[in-house]
Structure 1
Amino acid sequence: MTVTPASGRPADVPELDSAAIRADFPILSRRVNGRPLVYLDSGNTSQKPRQVIDAMAEFAATHNANIARAVHTLGTEATEAFEGARGKVAAFVNAPSVDEVVFTKNSTEAINLVSYAMLAASLGRGGDPRFALGPGDEVVITEMEHHSNIVPWQLLCERTGATLKWFGITDTGRLDLDATEELITERTKIVSFVHMSNILGTINPTARIVRRAREVGALVLLDASQSVPHLPVDVSALDVDFMAFTGHKMCGPTGIGVLWGRGELLSVMPPFLSGGSMIGTVTMEGSTYAAPPARFEAGTPPITEAVGLGVAVDYLSALDMRAVQWHEKELAGYALAALETVPGLTILGPRVPIGRGGTISFDMEGIHPHDVGQVLDSEGVQVRVGHHCAKPVCARFGVPAATRASFYVYTTTDEIDALVAGLEKTRKVFG
């Protein structure tokens, strides 16, 4: 593969046109506190391009109807749009089948869908034995997880008597994989871990964990909430069993997420939510359930949001996800070097742009993150402050909270310069 010596970017990976991209995002032209908006909170929620906003408005104005329940024109159009979005998402992550894509409310619901299916199987209410847990069985996660990939497994273990175990984090913000064989054993039923940390920016290697899980017959769930929006993700190459991600972090709307699951596994999983649309037949004596994905999509789904997500996938695909990944890698390198110049600032996690994404959290000695965030906001710079739904990570690095800047396709080096200038002002304000 030909490599461009100056940056390391492969020659066949295009460079993003930041000016053209920024023109697609109406919100980026507004001002905050009299200053140009510098939006550095995309790890929480990305902004939407005009194409997504217009598509959702056009659908609501001209095609609005419920899906799969009507033979009239609007119902047919809505169903085609909804299922068309499913097809786009399946292609985006290289899913073997469109029926393996389940629409959920968000990543949190997607992870809970799997954990509650395992609970139902554990209580003897349907499902394959591979999903059933009891005393002596184990669930493995990591210390790096978002709370959405911790609490569901804690509850599952509490309710079934299974044991929760986890990988630790090294001082450099990487997963400590030295104990992989000891953590993942013949008692392990599922390993659920994050692909890219929402607080440290770390991109975790998957091969060793997946290989060990396969050796012992454990299932694998990957939380890809932060990776699918930012780099090429191929579920077939990853060889995981389930993957969760969400629309609002990838230029799409809130209120819609995705659980991808192997078709063979989805077909034997008991339902999570029940009601309309997920049934085969219903009598007063009992019910049967539809085949996936309908089995896991009870009730009226987020139809307009699915349309928006489909257009967001189109938008990102047109940019080329390899280009998105390189854009953020270069921004991360620029930002890491720039932040190192701020006195009293400590970066949490990897301090080099290798095996990490464009999310950087840091602590400023003697200054609470909320104060940092308020000064930055006065300069128009929007960052996230707090524990980032990752309290165990904060505890691991000895901080109650952190300030986080996260980048995306529309982020520029000028905005990183504005961040650094705002931090220098913060230092002056608080001495």
Structure 2
Amino acid sequence: MIRNVLIITCICINCGTLYSQSNSPTGQLSGSVLDEGNNPLDHVYFFLKNYPEFNGFSNSSGHFSLRFPEVLKEDTLVVNHLGYQRLQVPLARLKSTGNSIRLAQAVIGLEEVIVKPEDSSLEEMISKAIDNIPQNYPNKRHQLTGLYRKVSTNYDDFTHLVEAVVTVEDLGYEKDVQSAKIKVESLRQSEEHAEVDPYISAMKAKIRNQIESMGEPVGALNPIIGTYPSNYIRTAYVPESHFGRDGYRFMGIPELPVYHQFMGMEFIGTDTIYHIAFGSDDPPDGRNFLKINGRNHAIVEYQLGYRSGEHQVYVKFREVDGRYYPEIIRLKSLRLINRDVGVHQMDIHTLWLDKVNTDHLKKIRPRDLLKREQEIEPNEFPLDEGFWKDNEFLKNHPLDSAIINSLERNGKLLEQFERNAKD
């Protein structure tokens, strides 16, 4: 109860602002998805290529609509449907309304045809995937290396950027996630362009101290350490976890029913990936989903969130030597920095974990550990320009030009990085 006080208090401070400004300018896209015979296609999945958290499905009439920050207008819309060729269309080529997107039918060999599971079997598939977590995910010490990026939004602007190359040392998915160690190899950050109310910051600290004094668990202040456990499969050892073995968050209980819908299949090599939407609506709207590999019932991708958008987690895995390691962990959450509370102000944390190492591990030294209570403040980390100039992780995950343009309204990013670096 007390853990919810912070969110409730901040929202109540300025609920008038929240509702009056919720219709702020944003990118908008709508139209219909058709086959080559101009017949509408339902349950077609679409998303922004570089920001897949902005996504949706076409309805029974083939109609679709998508809202996204205006600064992402240079991104690409990806359209995907079982039995049809995947289509990628630059947003710049699409209109705000009245688009007609046509998909060409894909040729599928007879050996690839798999019968669609009946709805009655979806619960069994999800239950088996949860039961198989110990067999499908890491059970021994391993290291992951990749790029962390946090971008903060305010309506159609980006207001803050943090980038860090990190190494994660984890003991395995049956151990306490707090035992995972994270080292920052290098970090840089921009200026803070949003208005930060020191009163709100002080109030958050006071409530946090009160929770701690009562012996209640609190999340990490450090955003990098806080993002890693957003891979809820990593915390499945906790009974109350989303992926705890009781499974009621996916199966439902009489008081809180959960509905499931089969959305389609993907063929990746010899594997068949089943896409299942779930939620409290009947049928579910597709914003919450699981992708399950039929070969071993491993959850290879999932998205969980609240319908109003104030919190969302997206995770994608890769298979290495029969075990699944996180490839992308993306957490979107409200940014509680002033009285202007709402989904127009968000922090979007992303971990791209490009390298997996399971042998000959070099342990992270205690003095190099990132601390849970270590907030990322300006002038705390030195800036190694040579490290970032040719960094392979940054090349694999370049910063979107729309974000750069938004953040550079008060000066070049490199100059901001230098001003916020430790001398």
TM-score, structure 1 as length reference: 0.24
RCO higher in structure (CA 8 A, sep ≥6):
1
Q: Identify the structure with the greater strand proportion.
A: 2
